[in-house]
Amino acid sequence: MGLFDRVTVLLQKGVDLCWLRHNLLASNLANVETPGYRPRDLDFAKEMERAMAEGNLPMSRTHPDHLPPLEGSSPRLILRGGWGNPDGNKVDLEGEMVRLAENYLQYLSLLRMLEEKLSMIKYSIAEGGGQ
C-alpha cells in the first residue's frame, strides 16, 4: 500500500480539475468581446465519476512543489452554446462570474480537505517514530 490512499488521490484530482476549470472560465471572461467566441467549460462531477471509474485519476503538475501528476486521460471540455451577441459571441458575463465563484468555493473546500488528510499522514509519520 502506498503513502496516499484513494481518497487523497481523489482530492488531488478534484483540486486539479478546479484549477483547470478556473483557467477555462478566466479564458471565457477574457474573450467576452471576441466575435464568434464560444465559452469552454468542463463538467466537474462527470470528470470525477470518470476518474473513479477509470481508476487512473489523471492530473497535471501546476507547481514544482506539488505532488507529481498521475498518468491518465485528459478532461473532456464542453463548448457552451445558447444565446449570444449579434457578433456570435456566446459568453454570458454574469453566468461566467457565478461559475467562477462557485468553482473557487469548491476549490477551497477540496484544498482544506486535502490539507487535513496530509496533516493526518504527517502526524502519523511523526508519532510513529519510524517504527
* pLDDT (tens place) for every residue of the chain, 131 residues total: 466 788 889 999 999 999 999 999 999 999 999 999 999 999 999 999 998 887 655 455 566 666 555 445 678 888 887 777 888 899 999 999 999 999 999 999 999 999 999 998 889 888 876 55
CA-closest candidate to residue 28, choices 42, 18, 17, 40: 40
pLDDT reported for residue 79: 85
Residue with cell 478556473: 22
End-to-end CA distance of the chain: 17
Q: What is the pLDDT of residue 66?
A: 60
d(C-alpha 108, C-alpha 56), whole Å: 24
Distance, CA of 113 to CA of 129 (rounded, Å): 25
